[in-house]
Chain A
Amino acid sequence: MITVARLIAAKDLRVERRSKIVTNQVLPFAGITMVSFAFALDKQNVLDTVAPGLVWLATMFSLLVIVQRTFAIETDDGALDAMRVAGVDPRAIFVGKAMALGFQLLVLEAMLFGAAVIFYGESIPSNNAFGSVVLLVTTMLSATCGLAAVGTLYGGLAAGFKGSETLLPLLTLPAVAPVLIGATKAVESAVGTSGAVVSEGWQWVGLLTLFAVAAVVGGALAFGPLIDD
């Protein structure tokens, strides 16, 4: 299963590298979202407070676009159906697509945190820089696992329906609300928003990790029946 999952992940990333949809469309979209937030709020003290939440909100919006794209390449010429007919293990399809989606999300998140530094003036506290960076990276990894798993699960489900463009946000955004809350709180602790300290962030990382494990296991089990007739 792992071999096939890696094949699928490599194929997805190769398609994205070739088509450049993520680099030419999704990353600029995420950047514009960050700039728009900055214009809309336009007060430094407000931006300082809400910057972690805005980063994850922009991640959620971009997640929807990437998930639409990752399943569009499967449905453009009936490749997802072909995988079902070929008897490819649905768990391998799920894990492979989630791996590729997770990699793209990590790149996106790194860019969004960079944008937060530039546009919102965010920074790592100098008194515990190492702890903050470790918390930030751990938060990104655990949140990304959860987002990728939920995005892949609902992307696969919506791919079989007409009107999947509108169905996907309706399904996905409520389901990833725990990630939005947990990741925002953890990043607030990492960057010291409103006096938060690093130690307070780890309980949120615990929640994110729990969510990620549940989403990956549940998604792997449910994906087959969801995409099958």
Chain B
Amino acid sequence: MNASLNPFSSASATANDDPFVGNTSNNTEPDLVIALKDVVAVLGNFPALAGVSITVQRGEIVLLKGPNGAGKTTLLRLCAGLLPVERGAATILGFDLVTQRQLVRPHVGLLGHQNGLYLDLSVRENVEFWGRTVGASAHEIAGAMSRMGVSGRLADVGVRKLSAGQKRRTSLACLVARRAQVWLLDEPHAGLDAAGRDELDATLGQAASSGATILVASHELERAGGLATRSVDVVAGQAITDSNESQGTE
């Protein structure tokens, strides 16, 4: 992706400055970010994923739909490198999930029901902490905060005092600061009011148009469906449909 196309980038930014772009040198097909084929994953003795096949291209926002217990969260955790692949073939950003599960983790961000923030630290301190764990510069950290709308007045506010929507944005700023290229979001709209949901949708749309690849598991089909470029039904541990909705980013 050319940095000049990135609405977040400053005029002097290069592709290497863009935290959404990152290094994909391990990937033989640069635009193919997620490729799962007949993947089986087991929780205890229960096959939580029973032959999932799905491919996701760079910049897509894919909605994972399905009833409770269908395997949406398990699929996200597998893509984050937190669960082993029992059978099948799976690559994320060119890393083999079977043999390189640990190596995938620094490149993905998983945002579940919790935000992964330190409540006694300020917004700035949180984003700085997560950014510096990957060696992000002060410029990158400031950029991440600015892009997620948590710079300025909010920057020095303690996270404990933030609204649910502001915490979500802070958490996303942390993902940007630590250069996550694949965003795995589990019910991201939960607990947000209408304004917070609008803010989040705008943020995700901008991130995707800048090259981030986003998987969203959600029950709120109207809201998340409007955001997604494509949706996938997950039922009984299998991805059974893969439909284009031709919305959102290109």
Contacts and interface: CB of A to CB of B under 8 A. Distances in A.
B106 A18 contact: no
A86 B118 contact: no
A86 B115 contact: no
B203 to A, nearest CB: 18
A70 to B, nearest CB: 12
Given A11-B125, A87-B81, A87-B102, 14 more contacts: A7-B132, A14-B121, A14-B125, A18-B120, A19-B120, A73-B118, A81-B114, A83-B116, A84-B105, A85-B109, A85-B110, A86-B106, A87-B105, A87-B106
A99 B109 CA distance: 27
Contact-residue size bin, chain A (C-beta under 8 Å from the other chain) = 20 to 34
B82 interface: yes
A85 B183 CA distance: 11
Interface in A175-202: none
Nearest to B112: A78
B133 interface: yes
A81 B121 contact: no
B19 to A, nearest CB: 14
A78 B82 CA distance: 14
Contact of B119 (A14, A76, A81): A76
Nearest to A12: B118
Chain B, interface size category, equals 20 to 34
Contact of A4 (B112, B118, B133, B174): B133
In order of increasing CB-CB distance, the 3 nearest A-B pairs are A82-B116, A78-B114, A87-B105
A7 B120 contact: no
Interface string A55-87: 000000000000000000100111101111111
Contacts of A73: 118-120
A73 to B, nearest CB: 6
Nearest to A19: B120
A229 B115 CA distance: 19
Interface in A129-173: none
A15 interface: yes
A77 B121 contact: no
Given A7-B129, A84-B82, A229-B82, A18 B114 contact: no
Contact of B116 (A4, A7, A19, A78): A78
B108 A85 contact: yes
Nearest to B106: A87
A199 B118 CA distance: 47
A85 B118 contact: no
Contacts of B112: 78, 81
Contacts of B81: 85, 87
A88 B81 CA distance: 13
A109 B105 CA distance: 39
A83 B132 CA distance: 12
Contacts of B158: 18
8 contacts: A4-B133, A7-B129, A78-B113, A78-B115, A81-B112, A81-B114, A83-B133, A87-B103
Contacts of B110: 82, 85
A19 B122 CA distance: 12
B117 interface: yes
A84 B112 CA distance: 13
Given A84-B105, A85-B109, A86-B130, A77 B120 contact: no
Interface in B88-138: 102-106, 108-110, 112-121, 125, 129-130, 132-134
Interface in A3-21: 4, 7, 11, 14-15, 18-19
B178 A11 contact: no
A87 B102 CA distance: 7
B247 to A, nearest CB: 28
B155 to A, nearest CB: 16
B83 to A, nearest CB: 7
A76 B129 CA distance: 17
B98 to A, nearest CB: 16
Contacts of B113: 78
A15 B117 contact: no
Contacts of B119: 73, 76-77
A112 B146 CA distance: 47
A14 B119 CA distance: 12
